[in-house]
Chain A
Amino acid sequence: MSVLIFLDQADGHIKKSAFEAACYGAAIAKQTGTIAEAIVLGSINDDLAAIGQYGITKVHTVKNDALNHVDAQVFTKIIADAATATGATVIIFSNNFNGKAIAPRLSVRLKAGLVSGAVALPDTSNGFIVKKNVFSGKAFANVAINTAIKIISLNPNSFSVVTTIGTAEVAAFAANVDAAKVTVTNTNKVVGEVPLSEAEIVISGGRGLKGPENWSLVTDLAKLLGAATACSRPVADIGWRPHHEHVGQTGLAIAPNLYFAIGISGAIQHLAGVNRSKTIVVINKDPEAPFFKAADYGIVGDAFEVMPKIIEAVKKMKGLI
């Protein structure tokens, strides 16, 4: 009996969401009186023994350049073998792009019930019940997993990373690495930008900004705060901003600590992607804009007048002027 956590990596570094998954898995291990182990696939440049800080006893590694691209079929087999070898009864993923590709396959392979999009620790007082997001953040479902092995994928930014003192044992896991049936011919990553799904602060603009030429009101503030940028759907549809910035019901769903919305009305389909943010700030000139109902802080005013002053104030706060 143990908890096994899949640590997702990109470019040789463990992702922030994977540390959340590690802490979450370690907390479940503690709750159920067992240990937490982790598995990392591909070539890693990080010090893996340091993962012990997140409550992980042992890290299983499969160093193989072929695993630097995630192939769900290949990864599923290796993780299933590792789960069997370690006797894992709970397996944790981050509910990010890779988690969504692998966890469902693993669920079938191990005949293990999956709850995707978990937002809290399971309730193990009577069965095994996991709280997850449903209706695009508008509600939660408490889902019982009724199989012997349980798989949970944790929503990013819903469990805090807490570190202690500890060192993990690092051991190579002897895995059969199959040839991938999917060939990756090209990858195109936006370099130097904070990925939207992992960002703690997101500055977002809507049609109220009138045109792409005014986007410095969004990007200047984002740069100052180390934030990612996002936009409403019409903004991406008209081509003012790239598609990957579109958040909402049909775009990306995010849950940053701060979501700062400028000139966005707050239509229900937009809110579906951002309503899990911890703090929401709305700048809109219309006091009736529905977004104010979902906001924590707001200014009823013209973004073109208000935003430059906000940017100045942040610079002052940061001691830049």
Chain B
Amino acid sequence: MKILVCISKTPDTTAKIAFADNNTKFAADGVQWIINPYDEWYALVRAIELKEADAATVIHLVTVGLADCDPIIRKALALGGDEAIRINADSHDSYYIASQIANVAKEGNYELVFTGKETIDYNGSSIGGMVAELLDLPYVSLATKFTLTGTSAEIIREIEGGEETDTVQLSVVVSCQKGMAEQRIPNMKGIMGARSKPLKVVEPSAVDAFTAIASFDLPPAKAGVKLVSPDNPEELVRLLHEEAKVI
């Protein structure tokens, strides 16, 4: 059983969002980088749990990014990945990234490809579906539970207003979210071991991007809160009805 987990790097959830170079680039100065939470907490940890339940499972990690991704890849290895592949390219185009991942996936013949639900910086929610289409595999998005029975998987996924239980034959691409697993913290043994685990760097294959970010904007600042006295909450209801016109 071979699992490929897609790992991306994002700014820490509390990072200040600002832009540089005439609003064409994210201002990365002083930003702390983390593994995208969906990739780490849910996709990777569930893959590790599957491996713990089956000695024959291997977990490969794939990241499309430059050398500044190596620290977060090492952390993912410390948590329990066996081997990592970094495709040495910097892109925010989902199709470009998905194509690189699909190439790795094809070569490695993985039964399972896990992605996170979305990246918390570019919010594409696209890579998993694109990789699945490139590989002509089924894609189950927004999974909250994943269990294996032989060569088929039972997956619970979120749908609008509820959930759905799916069964599917491997191989399959799954995007993972809350519910799949619990966050883990790497231990000392994992951190030491990660140093000697393979991190292979490969050059990207030539792919034309479909999209390009022209610029960024910040939303206009809020006018400020209008406070109502706690002795007169009726006034709040009046304001929402007459001024904001939302109730």
Contacts and interface: CB of A to CB of B under 8 A. Distances in A.
Most chain B beta-carbon contacts within 10 A, residue among A76, A97, A140: A97
A185 B165 contact: yes
A142 B216 contact: yes
Contacts of A257: 246
Given A108-B95, A299-B230, A317-B237, A244 B158 contact: yes
Interface string A270-308: 001001001101100000000011111111111001100
A136 B120 contact: yes
A146 B211 contact: yes
B53 to A, nearest CB: 22
Interface string A239-267: 00001101001110000011000000000
A314 B247 contact: yes
Given A114-B126, A272-B120, A292-B225, A186 B165 contact: yes
A138 B169 CA distance: 39
B21 interface: no
Interface stretch (B61-69, B71-79, B129-137): B129-137
A225 B125 contact: no
Contacts of A301: 230, 233
Contact of A317 (B160, B212, B241): B241
Given A258-B240, A314-B247, A109 B133 contact: yes
Interface string A167-184: 000000000000001111
Interface in B43-87: none
A299 B227 contact: yes
Contact of B225 (A76, A113, A147, A297): A297
B189 interface: no
Interface stretch (A42-50, A99-107, A206-214): A99-107
Contact of A281 (B125, B209, B236): B236
B14 interface: yes
Contacts of A132: 123
Interface stretch (A52-60, A83-91, A188-196): A188-196
B218 A279 contact: no
- Main SS of chain A's interface residues? mixed
- Main SS of chain B's interface residues? mixed
A67 interface: no
Interface in A67-126: 69-73, 76, 95-98, 100-105, 107-109, 111-117
A185 B166 contact: yes
A117 B219 CA distance: 15
Given A187-B163, A279-B240, A139 B141 contact: no
B35 interface: no
B91 to A, nearest CB: 13
B222 A296 contact: yes
B13 A249 contact: yes
A248 to B, nearest CB: 10
Q: Rank and list the top 9 A-B pairs by shortest CB-CB distance, nearest first.
A: A301-B230, A104-B129, A113-B210, A189-B162, A195-B161, A108-B133, A104-B126, A186-B165, A105-B133
23 contacts: A10-B160, A101-B139, A101-B141, A104-B128, A113-B95, A132-B123, A134-B216, A135-B17, A135-B121, A139-B217, A144-B212, A146-B209, A181-B169, A183-B168, A201-B246, A244-B158, A269-B14, A279-B244, A281-B236, A296-B226, A299-B230, A313-B236, A314-B247
